[in-house]
Structure 1
Amino acid sequence: MTAPVLEKPTAPGRPAEPPAPRAETPAAGPAVTPARRRFLQGAWAVSLLAALVLGFVGYLFTLSHVQERHFQSAAFKTFRDQLARAVAPTGAAADGDPVALIDIPAIGLHQAVVVEGTTGRDLMRGPGHRRDTALPGQGGVAVVFGRGATFGAPFAELPKLRVGDKIEATTGQGTFTYTVNVYGDGDHPITDPARDRLVLVTGDSDWIPGSTVMVGARLEGDPEQNPGGRPRTVPYDKALAADKGALATLQLWSLGLLGAVLGALLLARYWRTSAAYLSLAPVVGALLWAVYENAAALLPNLY
């Protein structure tokens, strides 16, 4: 015989409480298959790679200009002080040191600091003097390279120069004026019988240059003495050369960046996520800048 079910007594005049609803177990979501997991991992990897590439493009066409202007400002103060104390270099100089100022009013270039050397790293600082040639104003041929698209693009408008335009250069030996008189390119180098002249060189494209644009100008008046004794060029000094020595440095900075990102992810597991990311963001940003700078050195030096 089944025992009767006893109901909970209720207070007089109070209706009985309805039975509590039974809790429902939430339905489990669809399982992530191995194929879907691989797809998601691949999508994240592609998105990260795209972000890095877009960041590099942004660095080349925006931040690199800021970097070049910062160096130009500091180098101008240094060179102006050297000129005032009559100690500006007139012979061989160290890589990256300021050696001249150049003005080309026809293309809007004013008081640009010319540094010694024409490697990709030298030209990140501004126009570069090819180390085996005379300085502007000295007897002989002076050659100056300049980028056409990145790092301030000082020679971007160089092809717009016309015969008769003036170029003014200032060095430790004085101020000198040149007059544009001839043009050339990678397939047709400049030929000019004049002994004392200036040759300006840049890339032939604001994308990835495949050849060069050259503008020749003759010195007006008598040249200053050329002390000679200049060093030989290195392979990275040539037009459109890439600084392959930056590859090893790029790898080291990339490893440092990867370590910082992994460190941020690990720190976020034991600390507040926002605090972990904010604390390591400056480190990651500095490492990313170093990675981009070394990657830029692998591009043609006139780019």
Structure 2
Amino acid sequence: MTVLSSPPETDAAAVWKPPTDGTPAGETTRSLPEPPAPDPAFAVPGAALMILAALLLGFVANLTVVGHLQHARAQQIGYADLRKQLAEGVAPVGQTDVDGTLLTPGAPVAVLRVPAIGLREVVFEGTTSSVLTGGPGHSRDTALPGQAGTSVILGRQWGYGSPFLDLDRLDAGARIEVTTGQGKHTYKVVGLRRAGDPVPFAKEGQGRLTLVTATGSPYTPSGVLRVDAELTSELQPRPARVLDPGRMSRAEEVLEGDPDAWLPILLWSQLLLVVAAAVTWTLRRWGRWQTWIVGVPVLGAVGIALSGALTRLLPNLL
């Protein structure tokens, strides 16, 4: 005869205990697993993508919104400085200032007005890519407007304010006004020139003005457009020449970049690498949203600064 033994008694208190964290009886608590930490193998590709994104954002910003704002600020400051110099009678009338020192590239020298296309721009001394971010630039080895000889002014076609965007709309006979330290001078457009067209030269005792910009698709210059005009107002005396033709740097020539930009490019590149590494590190230690809220503006600012330095390597008429 088999005797069935009863199941062993269990301690109910050991099997179930009432919750002590406020959970109602009958409901069980379940802890969620912690999210896995980001794989360190993705740190380098992630940093590289952040750097690439910052550079692309910076390029677009510099050639559009930020570049136009930078141009507007330079124009406002340049106009105020030149207006003060005109009032004090110390505005430049040649290649040197009142102390006989060669003008610094970027110094305001004239105000250019073309009523037919609604253009009013401060003209700065020099024609490097850096100078032309602020507005049109006067070729330093040519006469100032209003004087005997040919005065050459270069301006961008698309980026940084696009001051010479509508230059191809000018017709023969259009009026150009230029104000310098010698007063207000007027010119009459005589024609537009492109590659292969004959170059007109100023006769002895005659003043001419040539406005130069790029042609081609937006942000991809493929040629040069020149607008020639002859002086119709009284000819002004020309001071002695200090900088002769051919002594300018290559960076001041048409469609050339500025090699002096390499040093700021190197410094901004190093800072961008440091910021990208810091963002990658905080992403693993701090949290995704907190990192992006703080890191994205910093990455964007450094990317815009680096891209701004890189754009100085591009053709000066872009």
TM-score by length of 1: 0.82
Among 134, 139, 145, the alignment partner of 1:125 is 134
* Whole-angstrom CA distance in 2 between matches of 1:256 and 1:189: 49
Among 92, 106, 119, the alignment partner of 1:96 is 106
The correspondence of residues 75-224 of structure 1 with structure 2, limited to 5 A, is 75-92=78-95, 93-110=103-120, 112-194=121-203, 195-205=206-216, 206-224=218-236
When residues 46 and 2 of structure 1 are mapped into structure 2, their CA distance, relative to the original with a 3 A threshold, is farther
* Whole-angstrom CA distance in 1 between matches of 2:104 and 2:11: 101
* Whole-angstrom CA distance in 2 between matches of 1:53 and 1:230: 42
When residues 271 and 50 of structure 1 are mapped into structure 2, their CA distance, relative to the original with a 3 A threshold, is closer
> Is the Cα contact below 8 Å between 2:54 and 2:299 reproduced in 1?
no
> Is the Cα contact below 8 Å between 1:139 and 1:226 reproduced in 2?
yes
Gaps of 5+ in 2: 13-25, 33-40, 96-102
Among 232, 243, 258, the alignment partner of 2:258 is 243
State the structure with bigger RCO (CA 8 A, min sep 6), 1 or 2. 2
SS of match in other structure, 2:8:
coil
Counterpart position of 1:29: none
1:214 Cα deviation from its structure 2 partner:
0.2
Gaps of 5+ in 1: 11-19, 27-36
| Seq. identity, % | 37
1:73 maps to 2:76:
yes
Q: How many residues align?
A: 287
The correspondence of residues 219-298 of structure 1 with structure 2, limited to 5 A, is 219-231=231-243, 232-267=247-282, 278=293, 283-298=298-313
* Whole-angstrom CA distance in 2 between matches of 1:189 and 1:2: 121
1:3 Cα deviation from its structure 2 partner:
6.7
TM-score by length of 2: 0.78
Task: Identify the range of structure 1 (137-146 vs 219-228) with the bigger mean alpha-carbon deviation.
Answer: 219-228
1:56 Cα deviation from its structure 2 partner:
1.1
1:91 Cα deviation from its structure 2 partner:
1.7
Q: CA RMSD in A?
A: 3.6
Counterpart position of 2:7: 5
> Is the Cα contact below 8 Å between 2:157 and 2:214 reproduced in 1?
yes
